[in-house]
Amino acid sequence: MPAWLGLYYARPLELTHGRGRHVWDSTGRRYLDFFGGILTTATAHALPEVTAAVTEQAARILHTSTLYLSRPMVELAERIAHLSGIPDARVFFTTSGTEANDAALLLATCHRRSHQVLALRNSYHGRSFATVGLTGNAHWSPTALSPLQTLHVHGGVRTRGPFAHLPDAEFTAACVADLHDMLDQTARGVAAFIAEPVQGVGGFTMPPDGLLGAFREVLDQHGILWISDEVQTGWGRTGDHFWGWQAHAQNGPPDLLTFAKGIGNGMSVGGVVARAEIMDSLPAQSISTFGGSPVTMAAALANLTHLLDHDLQGNARRVGGLLIERLRAVTAGLSTVREVRGRGLMIGLELVEPGTDTTSPRAAALVLEAARERGLLLGRGGPDGAVLRIAPPLTLTVAEAEEGAQALAEALHEVEETLTAHPTTR
């Protein structure tokens, strides 16, 4: 396998099974899962309804392709179209978030007859040739060659960068002014603007609420389409909203919305939602052999039903709110924790070298190991990997949140002691 497939941990972990919010490794050790396989186990491991849906569908028919009618695919498309808030919506299913964004870019660039795209700095949108060109994070973007011309604008990172010192309203005004400037000076008929409402790989950074809506007003003046990448922020994870864009757009939904990860609870489901006028504007035929395959659609339907019936968005708001407060309290005296940020069950801790403002990837690596030793799995993110990411399944209980916060606090204290004793090595 490729060297660039990075594994977590000095001694990589083999997970063999899971239940609820827990997973087990091949030695039989149990862990509280605070990362859900990169925000993908959205409801729970081994959720009985999803297991039953997969088993029943697998016993009937595994594959048909998009050449034939498929009841689970049409049902899921109708439900997502309705939930998206996009008027006259059409849904196209893919097998990943990368492919969903690729499809959205194809639609937007064909519709607008332009290959210029705006993206946020510190963004991540996938690993394909087109999406790495968009990604505003050099660690995840191996080539400057691209079928797109991407212009990166400010706005995704609130507490670092040239506008970090400004209060929210002025921060937003500065980013809007930058966007105007970019469009007036540099751009020629831009096709689309793509943004994650909360930047995932970027380390759970986000703009002040309303910024993307303010951008929307500018984009509208130029006819530029807004693509909301909801691959991490969709399905209620952010607690206050079902979609991340809803924290921003008083003036309505995006033109296109992409999704993946949590909807399938681990089955490969992604997709793009767009108004019919945009979705149907492709001047050629297309197909997806695996996109929308029956087993994945049946799983996603069962998962979505569970998520809505049990108000897991509400649980993300309640338990996530409690967890972030708890984490702020237990890290208050630690000089390695620069910021605890996020919303719902999407919480990031940015780590720095003790007593400095310099991001500390080594601290993040050590905390990941120390938390593992205490039976807690975390994620990492940020431009250089110095942010701890917490994104457990949305069924997380209060007791589990407290247990995880305690383990993390112990790990952070241990690492702070180590780093303070060895301040020079990095």
Q: What residues make contact with ligand PMP under the rule CB under 6 A?
A: 38, 96-98, 101, 124-126, 196, 200-201, 229, 231-232, 260, 270
| Backbone Cα Rg of the chain | 21
**H-run or E-run covering 268:** none
**Residue with smallest beta-carbon separation from ligand PMP:** 97
- Say how far apart CA 284 and CA 286 lie, in whole Å: 7
We find the least distance from the C-beta atom of residue 231 to ligand PMP, in angstroms, to be: 4
Instruction: Rank residues 89 and 269 by Cβ distance to ligand PMP and give the closer one.
Output: 269
Structure tokens at 279: 């979705």
We find the least distance from the C-beta atom of residue 221 to ligand PMP, in angstroms, to be: 27
Of 69, 71, 104, 110, which is closest to residue 90 (Cα–Cα)?
Answer: 104
Structure tokens at 98: 């990368």
Of 406, 404, 396, which is closest to residue 379 (Cα–Cα)?
Answer: 404
Instruction: Rank residues 20 and 204 by Cβ distance to ligand PMP and give the closer one.
Output: 204
363 contacts 414 by C-beta, under 8 angstroms:
no
Phi, psi of 178 (to 5 degrees): -65, -40
Instruction: Rank residues 364 and 411 by Cβ distance to ligand PMP and give the closer one.
Output: 364
Residue with tokens 């500390």: 360
Which residues is 205 bridged to in the sheet? 199
We find the least distance from the C-beta atom of residue 140 to ligand PMP, in angstroms, to be: 9
Instruction: Rank residues 101 and 114 by Cβ distance to ligand PMP and give the closer one.
Output: 101
- Say how far apart CA 46 and CA 395 lie, in whole Å: 12
We find the least distance from the C-beta atom of residue 137 to ligand PMP, in angstroms, to be: 11
Residue with tokens 């498929």: 70
Instruction: Rank residues 213 and 244 by Cβ distance to ligand PMP and give the closer one.
Output: 244
Q: Which residues contact 320 (CB under 8 A, 6 or more apart)?
A: 239, 342, 343, 344, 345, 346, 347
We find the least distance from the C-beta atom of residue 238 to ligand PMP, in angstroms, to be: 13
Alpha helical stretches, state H, 197-352: 211-222, 276-279, 294-309, 312-331
Which residues is 15 bridged to in the sheet? 25
We find the least distance from the C-beta atom of residue 219 to ligand PMP, in angstroms, to be: 19
DSSP string for 93-139: EESSHHHHHHHHHHHHHHHHT--EEEEETT----SSHHHHHH-S-GG
Which residues is 258 bridged to in the sheet? 229, 272
Of 402, 411, 405, 388, which is closest to residue 35 (Cα–Cα)?
Answer: 388
Instruction: Rank residues 327 and 391 by Cβ distance to ligand PMP and give the closer one.
Output: 391
We find the least distance from the C-beta atom of residue 315 to ligand PMP, in angstroms, to be: 22
Instruction: Rank residues 20 and 207 by Cβ distance to ligand PMP and give the closer one.
Output: 207
Instruction: Rank residues 196 and 339 by Cβ distance to ligand PMP and give the closer one.
Output: 196
We find the least distance from the C-beta atom of residue 180 to ligand PMP, in angstroms, to be: 26
Structure tokens at 393: 């399944």
Instruction: Rank residues 231 and 267 by Cβ distance to ligand PMP and give the closer one.
Output: 231
Phi, psi of 135 (to 5 degrees): -60, 125
Instruction: Rank residues 124 and 163 by Cβ distance to ligand PMP and give the closer one.
Output: 124
123 contacts 196 by C-beta, under 8 angstroms:
yes
We find the least distance from the C-beta atom of residue 385 to ligand PMP, in angstroms, to be: 14
We find the least distance from the C-beta atom of residue 271 to ligand PMP, in angstroms, to be: 11
**H-run or E-run covering 144:** none
Structure tokens at 384: 């250089």
Instruction: Rank residues 211 and 366 by Cβ distance to ligand PMP and give the closer one.
Output: 211
We find the least distance from the C-beta atom of residue 124 to ligand PMP, in angstroms, to be: 5
